[in-house]
């Protein structure tokens, strides 16, 4: 009898532990969903030496908005992209207009590309927040994506530039 009671008690304890584990997992999932936006926060970091500017979507939306219609290397259909021009972000960071400096763009998946600021002055390169009016989701390779006006300029239809179409853009760093 004693042994049976012990087993019952042990079983109840295991039950309680399982219930606890399941509810803890549930809470973690809820927290993950609630903070999905915080995963990409600050959404974009601009850096030049000591100067650091951190921008959330709200602040990007408050800047001058630009639009661009182009296909991409991944999507042959023409998309209607909206966001902020790369050169406007450089101005926001305090880069002198037209100044050509080394620049690195990094993504949330740790992709990086070394280039210069020149592209942003030569072409209307867009840091896109929306595609066809909808915020960029993870499946659109968002929330921020670099879009070159490749349908408008033949010279941009080149693999050298394809590497600069950073998806999941996280930061832009300019060498002072
Ligand atoms: N975040 C992120 N962006 C990225 C990459 C990447 O791995 N991660 N690959 C780059 C490369 S090498 C290319 S050629 C272009 C186009 O993508 P594709 O290779 O799928 O055509 O995306 C670029 N953007
Ligand atoms: Mo590539």
Report which protein residue has its CA nearest ligand 1's atom 1. 167
β-strand partners of 83: 66, 128
- pTM (predicted TM-score): 0.81
Question: Tell me: the pLDDT tens digits for 97-124?
Answer: 999 999 999 999 999 999 999 999 999 9
User: In sequence order, which residues have a C-beta less than 8 Å from that of residue 117 and are 6 or more positions away?
Assistant: 90, 95, 99, 100, 101, 103, 174
CB 71: neighbour CB atoms within 10 A? 13
For residue 122 the two structure tokens come to 């030569």
> What separation in Å is there between the alpha carbon of 162 and the centre of ligand 1?
7
pLDDT band at 24 (very low <50, low <70, confident <90, very high): low
Distance CA 1, CA 3 (A): 5
Would you state the pLDDT for residue 33? 46
């Amino acid at each position: 009898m004693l042994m049976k009671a012990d087993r019952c008690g042990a079983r109840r304890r295991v039950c309680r532990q399982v219930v606890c584990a399941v509810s803890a997992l549930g809470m973690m999932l809820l927290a993950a969903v609630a903070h999905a936006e915080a995963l990409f926060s600050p959404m974009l970091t601009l850096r030049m030496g000591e100067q650091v500017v951190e921008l959330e979507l709200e602040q990007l939306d408050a800047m001058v908005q630009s639009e661009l219609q182009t296909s991409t290397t991944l999507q042959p259909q023409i998309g209607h992209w909206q966001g902020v021009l790369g050169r406007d972000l450089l101005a926001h960071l305090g880069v002198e207009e037209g100044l050509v400096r080394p620049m690195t763009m990094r993504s949330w998946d740790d992709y990086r590309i070394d280039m210069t600021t020149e592209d942003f002055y030569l072409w209307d390169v867009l840091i896109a927040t929306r595609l066809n009016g909808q915020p960029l989701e993870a499946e659109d390779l968002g929330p921020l994506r670099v879009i070159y006006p490749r349908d408008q300029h033949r010279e941009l239809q080149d693999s050298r530039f394809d590497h600069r179409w950073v998806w999941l853009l996280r930061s832009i760093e300019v060498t002072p």
